[in-house]
């Protein structure tokens, strides 16, 4: 969208930081979110039990790890996610069963959630996400550091002339990084441990209420179409071609159906 302030990182000045009052409140409760995630990960990775309840737990935690083929290609094999909200739609039953505290905290802070998602994102050790852009300057992204091995990094913003990344940051446990991922960005985890962050997509602060409503409508329509809730209607031009190919039979059929 035209006219929006564009910069790789947000909240690095007091004036900018004050635009996001929910950031400090989320950081204050980050220990609750981390504890909840760690508890689930321990249960899912435990090899000491083969009970059906554990198997069910593992299946439930895998529910949102699968992304589209395009998303998996962009993010790479080392990246995966447990999705709490996708395209603006909460997985309420899953959240209430497995991550009720995280769910309640995020919903209680009046975060201007955008239509993309909320997820726990894992970056496996010795892996990274290649440079890419999501192309959506009307959405900003918050990364809350939960489990961050020393040396994990993210780079956002590329110099148009040299094609070198302008700035690199490292996540901190219990702290939030605010990013504009329409800028080209990449990540790296050079350690042998997994890195975990909570990712929250939210509206650019300069969007008007009307613009946010319009974007929400467009994404909701797309979601309903992709989920089959809105039936596909054959364009009239194609219908005409089909009738012409059927010839006399189509004319007879029309005489009975019109």
Most confident stretch, 103-112, 116-125, 155-164 = 103-112
The CATH number for 184's domain is 2.60.120.330
pLDDT of residue 258: 57
Helix (H, G, I), strand (E, B) or coil at 202: strand
Residue 4 lies in a domain: no
pLDDT in tens, 113-128: 998 899 999 999 999 9
How many domains are contained in the chain? 1
pLDDT of residue 248: 57
pLDDT at 203 over 60: yes
Residue 41 lies in a domain: yes
pLDDT at 63 over 50: no
Beta bridge partners of 198: 120, 144
Helix (H, G, I), strand (E, B) or coil at 231: coil
HSE at residue 39, side-chain half, CA atoms within 13 A, is: 11
- 47-80 burial, b for 16+ CB within 10 Å, e for fewer? eeeeeeeeeebeebbeebeebeeeeeeebbebbb
Q: In terms of residue numbers, what domain contains 190?
A: 9-226
User: Smallest Cα–Cα separation from 102: which of 87, 116, 90?
Assistant: 90
CA distance 222 to 228: 10
Rounded mean pLDDT, 209-231: 87
Rounded mean pLDDT, 141-160: 93
Residue 249 lies in a domain: no
Residue 220 lies in a domain: yes
Do 118 and 200 form a contact (C-beta atoms < 8 A)?
Answer: yes
CA distance 6 to 22: 21
CA distance 21 to 14: 11
Q: Tell me which DSSP letter residue 57 carries.
A: H
Residue 17 lies in a domain: yes
Residue 37 lies in a domain: yes
pTM for the full predicted model? 0.81
Residue 60 lies in a domain: yes
pLDDT at 175 over 50: yes
**Those residues with Cβ within 8 angstroms of residue 220's Cβ, 6 or more apart along the chain or in another chain:** 88, 115
pLDDT in tens, 24-36: 999 999 999 999 9
Residue 2 lies in a domain: no
pLDDT at 129 over 80: yes
| Phi, psi for residue 45 in degrees, rounded to 5 | -95, -5
Helix (H, G, I), strand (E, B) or coil at 33: helix
What mean pLDDT, rounded, does the chain reach? Answer: 85
Q: Tell me which DSSP letter residue 174 carries.
A: T
pLDDT of residue 64: 40
């Amino acid at each position: 969208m035209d006219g929006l302030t564009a910069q790789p990182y947000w909240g690095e000045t007091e004036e900018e930081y004050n635009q996001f009052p929910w950031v400090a409140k989320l950081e204050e409760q980050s220990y609750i979110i981390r504890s909840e995630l760690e508890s689930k990960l321990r249960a899912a990775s435990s090899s000491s039990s083969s009970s059906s309840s554990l198997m069910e737990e593992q299946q439930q935690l895998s529910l949102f790890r699968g992304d589209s083929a395009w998303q998996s290609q962009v993010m790479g094999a080392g990246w995966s996610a447990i999705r709490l909200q996708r395209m603006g739609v909460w997985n309420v039953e899953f959240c209430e069963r497995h991550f009720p505290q995280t769910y309640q905290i995020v919903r209680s802070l009046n975060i201007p959630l955008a239509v993309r998602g909320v997820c726990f994102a894992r970056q496996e050790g010795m892996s990274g996400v290649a440079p890419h852009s999501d192309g959506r300057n009307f959405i900003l992204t918050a990364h809350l550091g939960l489990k961050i091995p020393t040396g994990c990094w993210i780079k956002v913003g590329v110099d148009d002339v040299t094609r070198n990344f302008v700035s690199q940051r490292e996540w901190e446990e219990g702290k939030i990084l605010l990013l504009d991922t329409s800028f080209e960005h990449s990540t790296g985890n050079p350690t042998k441990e997994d890195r975990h962050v909570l990712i929250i997509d939210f509206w650019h602060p300069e969007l008007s209420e009307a613009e946010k409503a319009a974007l929400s409508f467009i994404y909701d329509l797309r979601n309903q179409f992709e989920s089959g809730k809105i039936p596909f209607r054959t364009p009239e031009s194609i219908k005409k071609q089909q009738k012409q190919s059927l010839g006399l039979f189509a004319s007879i059929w029309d005489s009975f159906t019109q």
